[in-house]
A and B are shown apart, each in its own frame.
Chain A
Amino acid sequence: MGTLLKDFWYIFRNNIRDYGMYIALAGIFIFFTLMTGGLFVSSRNIFNLIQQTGFIAVGSVGMTLIIVIRHIDLSVGSIAGVVGAMAAVLIVSYGVPAAVALPSVLIFGALAGLLTGYLVAKVGIPAFVASLGGMFVYRGLIFNFLQSTGTLGINDPIIEAIGRGTIPSLATVFGMQLSSLIIGILAIGWLIYSELSNRQKKIAYNFEVLPKNLMIVKLVFMSIIIAVITYVLGSYRGISWVLVIVGIVLFAYHFMTTKTILGRHIFAVGGNPEASELSGISVEKITYFVFSSMGFLSALSGIMYLARLQSATFTAGEGLELQVIAGAFVGGTSAAGGIGKVTGSVIGALVMASLINGMQMLSLGSNIQNIISGVVLVLAVIFDVKTRNMKKTEKKS
């Protein structure tokens, strides 16, 4: 047992940067749970929290890559707004089916992002300015689309599902939704399988692996967390489509950044643009890609927001870019470039949303909410900067 603790401490110390955010999130959860007499972790509130976080988390994923390549995108909120308005007008005023309207506006978002990317990479103006221009232009376009009405209500089954729906429950067992239960079990199974197969491959190459007992502790711990989440969600309304969308985006981007050449090149460009160019990577192409991806995700975020409100408004998405940027920074993305994790940014967005949610439950005024959010944002980045240069300790055998 002694060596187990020692191994654990060694791994913890060397990865404190990665774990910091999870610890902060756990801290916030414990604090508000105590303050609200358990209401904060009720199934209902957790469900709501996910609905509130979803459209920000999606944006934070895209913003992570933007910040990694040392740029910024301020047009996120306006693109989200204009995309919502466009979708609403297409569906309501022109009767276009949602199944056609939604992919079209997603493509619009990607093209809008590509345009910003072009201005940055080819024309060579700072991303701050290019996207600030975009922010005004798209905000203006919203007025064109919505014209005098100001808001445009929308009543469509697909939009309804994206905003409020959950995946079909199939049946109810032990007071839980069967579909959620199945997904929970599959997730645990997949977790164990991927961990083991990974370990197998590493052993085949003679690489270092986690000590066996520590791996078991890790698997048990993570399985419990998944089980708890499954229980909390499954005993209420089940898994929402919002969670499914965030899950897919997160998985795709996590895979792209950690496993693919494209991901590698994005981080290389962020880490040292000159060296990347000399290594044969086209900084220009990477910039195009990252900005279009941001535009695409802004549009997705806009659709999720539209669906949440079930109507398009002038103010939709206002300030979203800043929440998205906050999520990315709290999640450990570095403005110096080349450092960041999409998983971190999603957790970062969740940290910020939990704070707001918790403070609202405690009926704190929005003045206090803003002050605390600001302080937490800065503290998170201070923690990040301070732990970044911490020297890794050698393993004492």
Chain B
Amino acid sequence: MPPYPYGGNHMSTSTLLKMNHITKTFPGVKALDDVSFSVEAGSIHFIVGENGAGKSTLMKVLSGIHAYGSYEGDIEFDGEVRAFHRIDDSEKAGLVIINQELALIPEMTVYENIFLAHEVSTNGVIDWNETIHRSSEELKRVQLNINPGLKVKDLNVGQQQLVEIAKALSKKVKLLILDEPTAALNENDSERLLNLLVELKAQGITCIMISHKLKETIIADRVTVMRDGKTISTLEKDDIDEARIIKDMVGRSINDIYPKRPPYEAGDVVLEVKGLTAFNHRTDKTVAKNVGFQLHRGEVLGLAGLMGAGRSEIALSIFGNPKKYSMELEMTMMGEHVQFKHPSEAIKKGLFYVSEDRKAEGLVLKKDVKENVTLSNLHKISNRFVIDKNAEIRSAKEYVDHMNVKTPSLEQLVYYLSGGNQQKVAISKALFVGPKILILDEPTRGIDVGAKYEIYTLINQLIEEGMSIIMISSELPELLAMSDRLLVVAEGEIKKELHKDEFSPETVMTYATS
């Protein structure tokens, strides 16, 4: 055997990465259970699986975020057995991971971010001109046409994701790992990203990608399915099929992705919004223009539109205006005229908003599951001002069981839960308040098919109990299936109201882009 097993010609058939018998335990959780996994050079390899299956953990083990020695098993990369102790070790070897949480510094410019931790320098002194110049080159490679001097906080998520990739490319990457890169992207940006990966593959860059959007596996050469910390199957290009993947993921076949909706009969009007106009001083933009609508008892009202259309802004304006827009609004709830100066007043009246950004806005990550669940309604478990810890545990347990949150204990920090389980905690927190109207902003972002099904079922159940729901989602199929009525939003305005019999993706897109 030649000392270097893969020369240029046989790229497609040589193995770049082999992970052998990896086992990783956290207190109370066996996140990886004897996992073996290999990736061919020059391929795009997908990893899919339910929330908490261990996908991110496997990649963190691979990239040295979980240091060598904290797991069992060994890793062969690029022909050598590796022991990565820190993330910079793996980067030196040509392996770059883009985490589920973006690793960009918002206050810094694009070029500073691209070369962060591997600056263009001589003797520790940075050459800024060269940095900017090379950043522009990398930005061209990812086809992002922006000024590298912009601050990252002024970019949208799609652009930030591309900056992350430019950052990876600038490190001379051989194996690029992307953990749910498209979770927060809209259709256009996602497609752009997938095309980019295909292009990078042509340039010889191998890629591991984790995603819950199964239709993206169309670009995959191989798909590995994980469940409960084990690899279940690896499908070759010709065998890749969504139904098969789902079956391996959840261990049974799911025939309907959406549970049956009970037929909807119009109830009383529970919420009426009139003449909502809101202006955001921070961005100098009008985020809502003369918005008006009604919501009925037992109804799911969908807000459709492109990212940035103003759907979340409309929701926030109604929910006590936490972002302090200047605004005009006339609102009645349950026939009573209301004017919320703060979210707390809205919550008191029975209106609750579950944020699209569960990590930054929805949850207190450094607190445990039970404290998060009870946070918005501590009165329910208190005698006057004193919290009854036992009551807290009892109530939290009830909700955690009901929502089927996978957590080793109620005392687990939410930080350590997988994405889908964090989302369930965020919804539990909302339900704990006992709202009459619930606004769900992107409730299924980044969560697996099984958990999505559970959330859909939950929505149906809540509706039947007489709750009303406003649902915001960028996944059109889900919105069409779950809503009783749709409002199409673009540029902060309601462009069209659609009833169930008028629903079609084409109609929605026509108005959303008008």
Contact = CB atoms under 8 A, between A and B. Distances in A.
B269 interface: no
A142 B343 CA distance: 53
A268 B104 CA distance: 9
A339 B126 contact: no
A270 to B, nearest CB: 8
Contacts of B118: 280
Given A271-B106, A278-B65, A391 B121 contact: no
Interface stretch (B66-74, B85-93, B382-390): B85-93
Contacts of A259: 125-126, 128
A275 B104 contact: yes
A267 interface: yes
A248 to B, nearest CB: 18
Interface in B83-112: 86-88, 91, 99, 101-108, 112
Interface residues of B, number: 30
Interface stretch (A182-190, A199-207, A317-325): A199-207
Contact of A279 (B116, B125, B126, B133): B116
B105 A338 contact: yes
Contact of A391 (B106, B119, B132, B283): B283
A237 interface: no
Given A202-B129, A264-B126, A339 B107 contact: yes
Contacts of B106: 271-272
B124 A262 contact: yes
B117 A265 contact: yes
A261 interface: yes
Contacts of B65: 278
Interface string A192-212: 000000000110110100000
Nearest to B284: A391
A201 B132 CA distance: 12
Nearest to B119: A261
A207 B129 contact: yes
Among B104, B106, B107, B124, max chain A CB count under 10 A is at B107
A391 B282 contact: yes
Given A280-B86, A280-B117, A338 B91 contact: no
Contacts of B112: 264
Nearest to B147: A208
Contacts of A260: 121, 124-126
Interface string B262-283: 0000000000000000000011
B124 A275 contact: no
Interface in A204-261: 204-205, 207, 259-261
A268 B87 contact: no
Given A260-B124, A261-B126, A262-B124, A275 B283 contact: no
A389 B284 CA distance: 10
A207 B132 contact: yes
A309 interface: no
Given A259-B125, A259-B126, A205 B132 contact: yes
A186 B26 CA distance: 63
A391 B283 CA distance: 7
Nearest to B123: A260
B129 A268 contact: no
A276 interface: yes
Contacts of A205: 129, 132-133
A156 interface: no
B91 A280 contact: yes
Nearest to B88: A280
A64 to B, nearest CB: 15
Nearest to A392: B154
A352 B102 CA distance: 40
Given A279-B117, A280-B88, A391-B283, A271 B105 contact: yes
Among A259, A264, A276, max chain B CB count under 10 A is at A264
Given A271-B107, A280-B87, A201 B129 contact: yes
Nearest to B101: A274
A119 interface: no
A296 B124 CA distance: 21
A31 to B, nearest CB: 32
A372 interface: no
B422 to A, nearest CB: 16
Among A268, A281, A338, max chain B CB count under 10 A is at A268
Interface string B126-141: 1011001100000000
A207 B121 CA distance: 19
Interface in A9-45: none
A264 B119 contact: yes
A160 B382 CA distance: 67
B169 to A, nearest CB: 15
Interface string B457-496: 0000000000000000000000000000000000000000
Interface string A52-95: 00000000000000000000000000000000000000000000
Nearest to A338: B107
A274 B415 CA distance: 12
Given A271-B107, A274-B101, A275-B102, 15 more contacts: A204-B129, A205-B129, A207-B132, A267-B108, A268-B108, A271-B105, A271-B106, A274-B103, A275-B105, A278-B101, A278-B103, A279-B103, A338-B108, A339-B107, A391-B284
30 contacts: A202-B129, A204-B129, A205-B129, A205-B133, A207-B132, A259-B126, A260-B121, A261-B119, A264-B116, A267-B108, A268-B108, A268-B116, A268-B117, A271-B105, A272-B106, A274-B101, A275-B102, A275-B103, A275-B104, A275-B105, A278-B87, A278-B101, A279-B103, A279-B117, A280-B117, A281-B116, A338-B107, A338-B108, A389-B282, A391-B284
Interface of A: 201-202, 204-205, 207, 259-262, 264-265, 267-268, 271-272, 274-281, 338-339, 389, 391
